[in-house]
Amino acid sequence: MSVQQNYKTGIYCRLSVDDGNAGESMSIGNQKAMLTEYVQSQGWSIEEVYADDGWSGTNFDRPNFRRMIGDIERGRINCVVVKDLSRLGRNYILCGQYTEIYFPQKNVRFVALNDGIDSLHSNNDIAPFKNILNDMYAKDISTKVRAALRAKARRGEFLGTHAPYGYLRDPNNKHKLVVNPEVSGHVQRIFDMVTTGHSIHSIRNVLRADGILSPGDYARFRKHDPADGPFAPIYQWDKSTVRNIVRNQHFCGDMVQCRKRIESYRTHKHVRNPREDWVVVEGTHEGIIGRQQWDAAQKILEGRSFRIQNADEPHLFSGLLWCHDCGRKMAHHLRASAGHYYSCGRYRAEGPSACTSHHIKAEVLSELVLRDIQKHAELLGSDTDKAVKRITAATCADEERRLSTAKKELVTQRKRQTEILSHIKKMYEQHLKGKLPEELFQTFLQDYEAENTTLCGSLQTLEDTVRNLESNKADASQFLALLRQHGDLTELTRPVLMTLVNKISISEPPDSFGSNRQQTVRIHYKFVGAHCSGST
């Protein structure tokens, strides 16, 4: 680099959030004063001062840093002065690119004052090592910040910048959520419509027709200054917005965080965490909807939703019908010759080698389910005690058998796991005493550890099964309370189905082509499990 008497100098200063408590010597003002005094003492001209306040050193897309590079490209400056290398950045790869390649190529003199680095001289061998140390510091800070934030998340503290739709940050505690009465009613309305059978598509249309501000519009509305003129919504409700609200666990009072992470402290790219790495803390704030309604809404969304062509609403049994034999959802069909009917989704997709048709007409199924509900409602009206006994006696037989089997298997596998751990302990003792050769010890140990790993996975599955089955055990009183709302039912509607029924499973008739075609339909009512009804 040629020696010049005068340089057109750009002073660059940077301060990140992590440097905020490092003292006055690190402040933007102090950096400017120090570097200005140095440049003037050299007799150089100061063309521009560039300052990025609150920007991480690992991010080189800083606005004033990019502006300085632009001025270098235009030839406005040919000398860059910083307080030290860490102010230029803390990514040793990119720092090296600028100090070792870019600045020399552009004939730009680079000075890091406190580190004694000047590209005009050849005594800069320490620069790469300082860059590495600065990078390690950034990595260490990033690790500590992430650990601190995760600890706060585990304590149930809200970490977001903006509260979820339906909530506000508590003015007395920014880490706590409080219900926003302005829009919480819209959230409740959305859940009510979902659990009474409305499709996501129709809910979106209702919200649009009623002029309800979408979450994006509402956020802009709260910041709107009336002096700028009337507020004009620009975003409309769409199906993904409605679906995301129904999926959001915040609305039942739980705090769900750490759903994303920064992939690297250098790139700052956000990636989704797997669900098992989310931090979920229950009961941290007031729920807008009850947990039971939230669970019901999730089950509905898990069901496959079909809509009748040219209609906004899903068909009557959408998301409720399942093949009893293979467990696949039933598919809805409409043919001019056959009308509306359902068949096994697996049979439909993979053919007769996978399952059988399980064909049932929509009108037959509708009549059968309506008759079964009416039967229970009539009995409830005439003899409540008898209704309770009949419902309790008829319910959950299949679930009880499954629960009993799962509990027995759980006991057996826990006992086996205890035996394995005992065998491993004894093997270690014998090995230490020299009674078990090393080769034999390693063989036995690998076998036992492999079996124990398999058992751990199996035990987790069994424990989940038992917990789910026990949570679904019969509660006739809750079912009867729902049934009382439909005592004079004359027509089967989707809201009635969504209120009373969890699912309906269809069996294949023993003789699919016989004149007396009979197949079993199991109606799984909410709180009380399955009731069997025959259809012809």
Asked whether residue 313 is domain-assigned, the answer is no
| Residue owning tokens 């509402």 | 218
Say whether both 60 and 202 belong to one domain.
Answer: no
- Asked if residue 139 is part of any domain, the answer here is yes
Q: Which residues contact 342 (CB under 8 A, 6 or more apart)?
A: 317, 321, 330, 331, 332, 333, 358, 359, 360, 362, 365, 506
Does residue 311 fall inside a structural domain?
A: no
Distance (Å, whole) CA 100 – CA 120? 12
23 plus 107 within the same structural domain: yes
d(CA 274, CA 272) in angstroms, rounded, equals 7
Q: Examine the domain organization and report whether 380 and 504 are in the same domain.
A: yes
Determine the average pLDDT of the residues in 23-32. 74
Q: Are 113 and 38 in contact (CB under 8 A)?
A: yes
pLDDT at 439 over 50: yes
Is the residue at 308 inside a domain?
Answer: no
User: By the 8 A CB rule, do 479 and 527 touch?
Assistant: yes
Q: Using alpha carbons, list the distances in angstroms from residue 329 to 305, 344, 357, 369.
A: 10, 7, 12, 18
Q: Is residue 3 included in any domain, yes or no?
A: no
Between CA 126 and CA 47, with CA 95 as vertex, the angle to 5 degrees is: 105
**328 contacts 505 by C-beta, under 8 angstroms:** no
Q: What are phi and psi of 355, to 5 degrees?
A: -165, -175
Exposed, middle or buried by CB within 10 Å (0-12, 13-18, 19+), for 206?
A: middle
> Rounded CA gap, 465 and 403, in Å?
8
Domain final residue, candidates 425, 446, 472: 472
Q: Which of 438, 472, 506 is the last residue of a domain?
A: 472
pLDDT value at residue 11: 95
Is 263 a member of any domain? yes
Half-sphere exposure for 144 (CA within 13 Å, toward CB): 7
Give residue 156's Cα distance to chain centre.
16
User: What are the tens digits of pLDDT across the range 361-394?
Assistant: 888 898 899 988 888 888 777 777 776 666 666 5
pLDDT-based confidence at residue 103 (cuts at 50, 70, 90): very high
The enclosing domain of 253 has a CATH number of: 3.90.1750.20
The answer on 493 and 347 residing in a single domain is: yes
Phi and psi at residue 111, in whole multiples of 5°? -130, 125
Pairing between strand 279-281 and 109-112? unpaired
Do 385 and 408 sit in the same domain of this protein?
no
Q: How far is CA 29 from CA 13, 32, 34, 79, 182, in A?
A: 9, 5, 9, 20, 44
Same domain, 244 and 382: no
Listing DSSP states for 51-109 in one string gives: EEET--TT----HHHHHHHHHHHTTS-SEEEESSHHHH-S-HHHHHIIIIIIHHHTT-E
Q: Do 437 and 498 fall within a single domain? A: no
Three-class DSSP category at 443: helix
Distance CA(295)–CA(191), nearest Å, equals: 11
Q: Is the pLDDT of residue 4 over 80?
A: no
| Stretch (H or E) spanning 479 | helix 476-483
Structural domain span for residue 56: 8-146
pLDDT in tens, 109-120: 999 888 888 888
In this structure, the answer to whether residues 224 and 336 fall within a common structural domain is: no
Supply the pLDDT for residue 68.
Answer: 95
Pair of tokens at residue 254: 């739980």
* Predicted TM-score of the model (pTM): 0.48
pLDDT value of residue 20:
47
- What is the C-alpha to C-alpha distance for residues 208 and 79, in angstroms, rounded to an integer? 58
Give yes or no for residue 492 having a pLDDT over 70.
yes
Residue 309 lies in a domain: no
What is the model's pLDDT at position 437?
A: 84
Looking at residue 304, its pLDDT comes to: 45
Q: Is residue 47 part of a domain?
A: yes
Q: Is the domain of 242 the same as that of 178? A: yes
Quick one: three-class SS letters along 218-261?
A: HHHHHHCCHHHCCCCCCCCCCHHHHHHHHHCHHHHCCEEECCEE
Q: Which of 247, 273, 302 is the last residue of a domain?
A: 302
Residues 174, 124: one domain? no
Q: State whether 127 and 25 are in the same domain.
A: yes
CA angle 268, 270, 271 (to 5 degrees): 140
* Biggest distance spanned by C-alpha atoms of the chain: 108
Average pLDDT over every residue of 138-159: 73
* CA dihedral for 198, 203, 206, 210, sign (positive or negative): positive
- The proportion of the chain whose per-residue pLDDT surpasses 70, expressed as a percent, equals 81
Question: How many Å apart are CA 92 and CA 55, to the nearest integer?
Answer: 17
**DSSP designation for 7:** -
Contact 201, 238 (CB under 8 A): no
pLDDT mean across residues, the chain: 81
Query: Quick one: 224 exposed, middle or buried, by C-beta within 10 A (0-12, 13-18, 19+)?
Result: middle
Residue 72's pLDDT is what?
Answer: 94
φ/ψ (deg, to 5) at 256: -120, 115
pLDDT at 193 over 60: yes
Residue type at 66 in one-letter notation? R
Count helices and strands (H / E) in the chain: 18, 18
- Which residue has better confidence, 385 or 347? 347
Asked whether the beta carbons of 68 and 61 are under 8 A apart, the reply is no
Give the Cβ contact number of residue 401 at 10 Å.
Answer: 10
Residue whose pair of structure tokens reads 């669970």 in the numeric block: 295
Structural domain count, the chain: 4
Give yes or no for residue 128 having a pLDDT over 80. Answer: no
Count the neighbouring beta carbons within 10 Å of the beta carbon of residue 424. Answer: 15
Of 185-199, 232-246, 263-277, the one with minimum mean pLDDT is: 263-277
Q: How confident is the model at residue 82 (pLDDT cuts 50, 70, 90)?
A: very high
pLDDT above 70 for 83: yes
In the structure, what pLDDT confidence band is assigned to residue 140 with cuts at 50, 70 and 90? low
**pLDDT reported for residue 69:** 94
Query: Is residue 219 located within the same domain as residue 84?
Result: no
